[in-house]
Amino acid sequence: MLHGHGDDSYRYSRTITADFSTNVWYGGEPKGLKEYLFSQWATINRYPEVLAESLANQVAEHHRVTPEQVLINSGTTESIYLIAQAFAGQTTTIVAPAFAEYEDACRMFQHRLTFLDWNTLSDLPALTSDLVFICTPNNPTGAIFGQLTDWMGKNPQTLFVIDEAFIEFTRELDTAIGLLDQFDNLLVMRSLTKAYAIPGLRLGYVASKPERIDQLKACKQPWTVNAMALAAGRFIFEQFEQCQLPLDQLLADKAHFVQQLRQNDQLQVFDSDTHFFLAETNKGTAAQLKAFLLEKYGLLIRDASNFRGLGAGHFRVCTLSPDKNALLINALSEWEN
């Protein structure tokens, strides 16, 4: 999907006052990162490390795995396409609604696709597929899946591809990377752009068994992680504790935000375990609501109607600062009337 994601403000001439369409932490990059990157500017005069090996070492140390279990990529999207390529032609299940790139990447590499409704997962369905993609916390719903070990144990023949791009935004879930010693059928994707507000640099990684990492390396192009992204990753892991976002405050702001939005009779706001959440308008469509908010107030939401399994009225909202949240609450009260 080349178009249809959130954070598409570049497509509009209208000044954006507040962007609720992206799930990136609104507070900006970690303190000191900008200055550090400027100090590393001379590194762009040379080729970067072929596989970002120094960062792979840091990530491995952080998660207490071996460097052979880690592959650094240019964002989670590269990870998704590498996995789809490495397992081309396989039978693959996608838990929906989900990030569209799972389906797009798998179709590009001739996977035979089936889909599971997220709401059926509590029964831990038996799988006949070679791979299953599941995002937890889920994009776009913000829900978590807490029965992963049971589901993997019941389906040892299926490789579980777990997308943890938003795990820094919840208190309800621990990373599955700690399960790699226990389960052979596990591959975990992580992002370094959402929680650290650097999506323009494109940076993420995959953790799995060394044999699976080798499968991905066989498909990977050299130098996909540029020098500035590599430097940013090193800074984050060197200053890890200082780089973390104020999650308790963010989730408290989100709870208040949702409480206010639920007073609007034209909206249904769904539960979420993260700072972003789904809502549905009972008046018109999400596309119409997006146009209304953009044109009249300069507020941008994510029209979620193009997620498989969602309807024309669904939209996704990310929690911003309380003053920005108030702008959306007030604008939506006019939509209500």
pLDDT averaged over every residue in the chain: 94
Residue 3 lies in a domain: no
Structural domain ending residue among the three candidates 242, 263, 297: 242
Same domain, 45 and 137: yes
Regions of the chain where pLDDT drops below 50: 1-6
Q: How many domains does the chain have?
A: 2
Same domain, 237 and 281: no
Residue 162, domain CATH: 3.40.640.10
Contact by Cβ (8 Å): 159, 132: yes
Q: Which two tokens stand for residue 225?
A: 């992680």
Residue 251, domain CATH: 3.90.1150.10
Which pLDDT score is estimated for 91?
Answer: 98
Per residue in 93-143, pLDDT tens? Answer: 999 999 999 999 999 999 999 999 999 998 999 999 999 999 999 999 999
Residue 2 lies in a domain: no
Same domain, 276 and 203: no
Question: By C-alpha distance, which of 287, 252, 282 is closest to 269?
Answer: 282
Same domain, 210 and 74: yes
Which pLDDT score is estimated for 166?
Answer: 97
Residue 4 lies in a domain: no
Number of H helices, E strands in the chain: 10, 13
Rounded Cα distance, 37 and 185, in Å:
37
Residue 252 lies in a domain: yes
Number of Cβ within a 10 Å radius of residue 249: 10
Residue by residue, DSSP assigns 191-235 as: ESSTTTT-GGG--EEEE--HHHHHHHHTTPPTT-S-HHHHHHHHH
Residue by residue, DSSP assigns 1-29 as: --S--S--GGG-SSPPSEE-S--S-TT-S
> What range defines the domain where residue 326 resides?
9-27+246-336
Same domain, 38 and 145: yes
Structural domain ending residue among the three candidates 219, 242, 265: 242
Residue 1 lies in a domain: no
Q: What crossing angle do the helices spanning 100-108 and 76-86 adopt, rounded to 10°?
A: 40
Could you give the dihedral angle defined by the CA atoms of residues 58, 61, 64 and 65, in that order, rounded to the nearest 10 degrees?
A: 60
Which pLDDT score is estimated for 278?
Answer: 97
Phi, psi of 162 (to 5 degrees): -105, 120
Phi, psi of 201 (to 5 degrees): -90, -20
Same domain, 167 and 297: no
Same domain, 261 and 233: no
Same domain, 188 and 94: yes
Residue whose token pair is 């060197």: 238
Phi, psi of 132 (to 5 degrees): -135, 130
Same domain, 40 and 170: yes
Q: What is the pTM of this model?
A: 0.94
- Looking at the DSSP assignment, which residues form a beta bridge with residue 112? 91
Which pLDDT score is estimated for 8?
Answer: 67
Same domain, 235 and 284: no
Residue 220 lies in a domain: yes
Residue 301 lies in a domain: yes
Rounded Cα distance, 135 and 260, in Å:
28
Radius of gyration in angstroms for the set of CA atoms belonging to the chain, rounded to a whole number: 20
Same domain, 236 and 133: yes
Same domain, 304 and 332: yes
Contact by Cβ (8 Å): 328, 293: yes
Structural domain ending residue among the three candidates 242, 266, 288: 242
